[in-house]
Every structure is written in C-alpha cells, then in structure tokens.
Amino acid sequence: MSRSSLVPADFQARLPQDQLVRGDPLEAERIDVDVLFVGAGPAGLAGAIQLARLVKQDNEGGAGIGEITIGVLEKAGALGEHSLSGAVLNPRPFRELFPDVKDADFPFRTKVEKEAIYFLSANKYRRIPTPPTMRNHGNYVASIGEVVRWLGERAAEAGVDIFAGFPAGALRVEGERVVGVRTVAAGLERDGSPGSGYMPATDIAAKVTALAEGSRGLLAQSYLEWQGIASQNPQIYALGVKELWETKRPLDKVIHTMGWPLPRTAFGGSFMYPLEPNLVALGLVVGLDYRDANLDVHELTQRMKLHPLFRPYLEGGEMVEWGAKTIPEGGYHSIPQRRHGDGVVILGDSAGLVDVPSLKGIHYAMQSGIYAAQAIFAALKHDDTSSTRLSAYDELLNDSYLIHDLYRTRNMRLAFKSGFYSGSGKAGLMALTGGRFPGGRIDVEEDARAPRTTTECEEFTSDGELTFSKVDAVFKSGNVTRDTIPSHLIPNENVGAELARFYTHMCPAAVYEEVDGELRVNAPNCVDCKATDVVGPRWTPREGGSGPAYKRM
C-alpha cells in the first residue's frame, strides 16, 4: 500500500523579519528604561530581581551607578496566566537569589518524598527503576503560576516596573545593536483597523534588552536568524498537555510513565504530581518529531486518563484547569552558539536551557537570569553594553553547572530520534558512561522536517467527566480572547485536506479544523503553546491579555 507522507516544513512561512527587526527611528513618544526583560517568567523575573539587588548594593556603597529603571514586559494579562510547567522544581536558584528566605517560605507546594516510574501497556503498568537523572530527592512540587506571581511580588518590592498585558512584537535595532522593542497594538478589529479601546504600539528603548520569552520565543528566534547565529543542531520541541484535578483519592507520590499511549515512533511520557494530596497535576509530553500525522497529544492525554494507573485517582474528581505548552528539548547541541549581542542577551527556554533528562527548566531559567543580571550590571557599571561586554553572560553560563550538566546528557534525547526502544537502551548507556557513549554528536533535523504519514485511527469521543473535547479544554484554560481580534497565525495559502487534518490533530486547542477539505482557523482559541509555530502556521503575538488565563498551572 502506498501512503503519502507530508513534510510540514514545506508548508511553513518564513519569519516575517521585515516586521520583526525594525531599524527605522524610534518614535518620539517612546518610553525609556535602562534594562528591559521581555517575559515575566522565572528567567526574566529572576534577572530583574538580581539586577535590582546588585544596583542597590552598589548605590549603598557610595559612588554607585545611581537609579536604574528596570522594566519587565509580559504578554499575559496578569503574571502567571501564560506560565505552564509540570512542575517538580529544583530549589537551588531560589536559595541563591533569596538567601534569607527559608525553604518553607518559598511558593512551593510539597517536598518530593516518594516517586515512581512506570512502563505502561494498554491495560497494565509495571514499575521500573528510576534513572539517576530523574531522581527528585530534595525537589519540590510547585505551580509555576504561583512561583511567577511570588517572584513578581519580590520584583515589585525591589522597584522593578512590571507591565503585564504588553507583548513585545518587534525588535528595535540600530545597525547591529538592539535598542529596545515595540509592543503590540491592542483593540484592533478583525480587518486590522483600530476599534474601540484601540491602543497603538509603543516603542520601549533600553540599553540592554533581555529576551526571556519562554519556549520558541519569537524575538529570540528573530534575533538569532538576523544575526546568523547557529547552533550545532536545530532546536527541537515537545508539546505537553496538562490538566489540574481536584481528586477524591489522595496521591502521595510523584509519578512518571513511559510507553503507552505513545506509538513507538514518538518520544515522550506522562507525569502525575500532587500539589496537595487531593490537588493533582497530570499531563503528557510528546516530541513534535512524531511520525504519525494523526497523532493528537490532547486526545492521547484523554485516553491516558482512562488507564488503570490514572483512572482510580480521577474518578469522582473534577478537572479544574487545562493547558498546553511546548518545551525546547534539543539540549546542549541546540543551544545557540552565542546568547548575547550588542545590547541584548537571551535567557531560559528562549535559549534552549532545559534539562530534558531530569525534566526541568525552571531552575535553569532562573539561573540564566541571575547570570544575565551580573553581566548586565557590569556592563552598566562600565557604561558599555556592547556585545564584548555582555559576553560575560555567556562566560558565566559556560562555566556553570548548567552547561556542565547539559553537556553530560547532550545526546540523551537525541538518541530517541530513532524510536523509543533503541533510544532507551542508548540513553541507559549514556547515563552509565556520563554521556561518553555513543560519543560524537547525534545529528537531528528540525521537527518540521520529519515526514508524517497518515495511519488509520480510532475516533475518540469524550465523556465530559474524565475526558474532554478540545473546546471544553480551551474553556478550562480560562481563554476569553475577544472573537473579533485579527488572526495572529500565518498559514500557507495552499493547505490541502491532508495537511489541514495534520494541523487539526497537532493543535491541542482546536484552533485548526478541516472543513470540506479546507483549513478553518479559529485563532481566538489559541493558548500560545507554540506547537503551531514549530510544525504548522507561524505564530505572532496578539493584543495583551489574549490567550489563556492559567491560575495554578
């Protein structure tokens, strides 16, 4: 039987660089700050807090650099509303950033006391040994939303200006130097004309712009492309779908699973964490290099909940929140060769700083923010924010535990490019040999280059109690984006039925539908997970406050 296969990259638009990198003069009505962090996640906020602290200490010693304005831009309507993570977090950078705060006073939920990893088949589960990289002794279960709001309060106390509801839509440049960003206009009608509540885009000028936009950051991508900054491998991504449940039955341990419901041609696994004994976060994470065009991460997450490992915890409970987000998974070889430039640094997920074998990125994000703050402070002190001066950020990173750890596990995720079973064997050997096996570097291609083949799939119907349709799910993400907003997605003009169906399955938020062989785009449903930007129509930022409103994700 001949099956057609499609390569998503063949249908992807290029980044609209003429709109994203703008060299025309800044408008007169601009706002000036000294340092601007783009994105109020763990990276941007940790950076802002550390920088404010260094400036304060410097001024207290006399002969300091004086008052510095530090701004943080955030596209969500309120802090944490676009933040989603598992999350089991490593508290290390919290202790470094707040040496006077006791662990009990951090915004964590429960300390990990028990954990288990299971290998799933369709109806059974078998406990398997926990790999060393996944041991969570000393780590905490947390809600990244709560962490981000807490960091936001600390930042505000330190005098940082936080602008929630203002996405950055373009880099402002002079020659090779980044001189700030332009925000995104609000209140546009569907045809792009100003409506009621129209607010024009504003230029924000900064001596240093720190791009901390999170996974698949638009301006970070745009900067790297503009400057021709490569990485040894392209960045690759996974898509995670997560739900928060209030359960009748308590959960007392952190659970990870491998195997079912994923096909052998996909890489990923599931998680279930107790924030409280009866408040449980669960989800499924799947590499976007999956080969089956019908693979649907949301639907697999729904099926997964019916498995005997999950179902007993969820029955009689209530799903209170739903969300989705991509994760950069390329590791060491996908980190851009330079994370700094004239007037700019790139932090956290936007720079690919995620430790995939331990399934963690929050501590790396914060640590990169702390290092960036040190480099930016030194640059301000010397009144020189050139690339040469800001290269101190990369030096700090390169000398850190972060890059050291990422180097040791550099090929672990990449091994799975050839499928799960051979991948697990290789990954095991890598762990035993400290990353030396198999040696060299495993080449990978962009997720969008992986060919997709359509296979037969069973229709799935949700029951509204344990399982939910995508439309119900989007409602539970808190998404109340205005229906009359202009579409922020850029599909190719010639999307046939097959590609439209691939998009339909790929998007967890029912943005895409195949109707009579054509693609229909329900843009307001988008929860900014960015999977579409990785393998489908390109994503651009919408007016502030659009998208999900996560509370405790």
Partner 1 sequence: MKIAVCIKRVPDTETRIKIGADGKSIDESGVKFVPNPFDEYAVEEALKLKEQTNGEVVAVCLGPDASQETLRTALAMGADRGILLKVESLPQDPLVVARALAAELEQGGYDLVLFGKLAVDDYDQAVGSMVGELLGLPSVSAVTRLEITDGHATAQREVEGGVEVVEFTLPAIVTAEKGLNEPRYPALRGIMLAKKKPLDIKDLELDEGGIEVLELTLPPDRKAGRIIGEGAAAVPALVDALRNEAKVL
Q: What span, in angstroms and rounded, lies between the C-alpha atoms of 71 and 37?
A: 6
Number of residues counted as binding partner 1 (CB under 8 A)? 19
- CA terminus-to-terminus distance, the chain: 44
Site string for partner 1, 120-159 (x = CB under 8 A): ----------------------------------------
Reduced to 3 states, what is the DSSP secondary structure of residue 258? strand
> Taking CB under 8 A as the rule, does residue 376 contact partner 1?
no
Q: How far is the CB of 184 from partner 1 (least distance, A)?
A: 12
What pairs with residue 78 in β-bridges? none
What's the closest the beta carbon of residue 276 comes to partner 1, in angstroms?
10
| 243/84 Cα distance (integer angstroms) | 10
Is the distance from CB of 42 to CB of 151 less than 8 angstroms? Answer: yes
Shortest Å, Cβ 513 to partner 1? 25
- Which is nearer to partner 1, 219 or 507 (by Cβ)? 219
Does 466 help bind partner 1 (rule: CB under 8 A)?
no
**Residue among 202 and 454 whose Cβ is closer to partner 1:** 202
**Alpha-carbon separation of residue 19 from 160, 193, 222 (angstroms):** 29, 18, 10
Check residue 44 for interaction with partner 1 (CB under 8 A): no
Q: Should residue 552 be labelled a site residue for partner 1 when binding is judged by CB under 8 A? A: yes
Query: In this structure, what token pair is assigned to residue 434?
Result: 């400290």
- Cβ-based nearer residue to partner 1, 31 or 229: 31
Out of 20, 49, 78, 171, the residue judged to bind partner 1 by CB under 8 A: 78
Under the criterion CB under 8 A, does residue 183 sit at the interface with partner 1? yes
Exposed, middle or buried: residue 508 (CB in 10 Å: 0-12, 13-18, 19+)? buried
Determine, following the binding rule CB under 8 A, whether residue 163 of this chain makes contact with partner 1. Answer: yes
**Three-state DSSP class for 488?**
coil
Q: Interface with partner 1 by CB under 8 A: which range of 199-207, 217-225, 347-355, 527-535?
A: 199-207
Name, in order, each residue with C-beta under 8 angstroms of 498's C-beta and a sequence gap of 6 or more: 4, 6, 293, 454
Q: Which of 2, 123, 193, 196 binds partner 1 (CB under 8 A)?
A: 196
- Quick note: the x/- pattern for partner 1 over 266-305, rule CB under 8 A, is ----------------------------------------
Helix axis angle, 387-398 to 401-408, nearest 10°: 60
Amino acid 95 reads R
In three-state secondary structure terms, 360 is strand
The set of long-range contacts for 496-503, using a CB threshold of 8 Å and a minimum separation of 24, is 498/4, 498/6, 498/293, 498/454, 499/6, 499/8, 499/11, 501/293, 501/294, 501/454, 502/6, 502/8, 502/293, 502/294, 502/452, 502/536, 503/532, 503/536, 503/537
Q: Which is nearer to partner 1, 6 or 466 (CB)?
A: 466
Half-sphere exposure for 467 (CA within 13 Å, toward CB): 16
Closest distance of CB 163 from partner 1, Å: 6
CB of 530 to partner 1, least distance (A): 24
Q: Compare residues 168 and 255 and give the one whose CB is closer to partner 1.
A: 168
List 255's β-bridge partners, or say none. Answer: 116, 272
- Whichever of 150 and 260 has its CB closer to partner 1, that residue is 150
Nearer to partner 1, 145 or 357 (CB): 145
Tell me whether residue 90 or residue 143 sits nearer to partner 1 (CB atom): 143
Report d(CA 495, CA 437) in Å as an integer: 42
Residue from 44, 478, 508, 547 in contact with partner 1 (CB under 8 A): 478
Q: Pick from 480, 496, 510, 513: which binds partner 1 (CB under 8 A)? A: 480
Strands of the 110-111 sheet, one edge to the other: 88-89, 140-141, 110-111
Nearer Cβ to partner 1, position 107 or 131? 107
Applying CB under 8 A, which part among 17-25, 124-132, 161-169, 505-513 lies near partner 1?
A: 161-169
Q: Does 320 bind partner 1 (CB under 8 A)?
A: yes
**Residues constituting the chain:** 553
Tell which one of 166, 226, 273, 310 touches partner 1 (CB under 8 A).
166
Residue 312 in contact with partner 1, rule: CB under 8 A: no
CB of 182 closer than 8 Å to CB of 168: yes
Q: Which residues contribute to the site for partner 1 (CB under 8 A)?
A: 31, 78, 161, 163, 165-166, 183, 186, 196-197, 199, 202, 204, 320, 478, 480, 549, 551-552
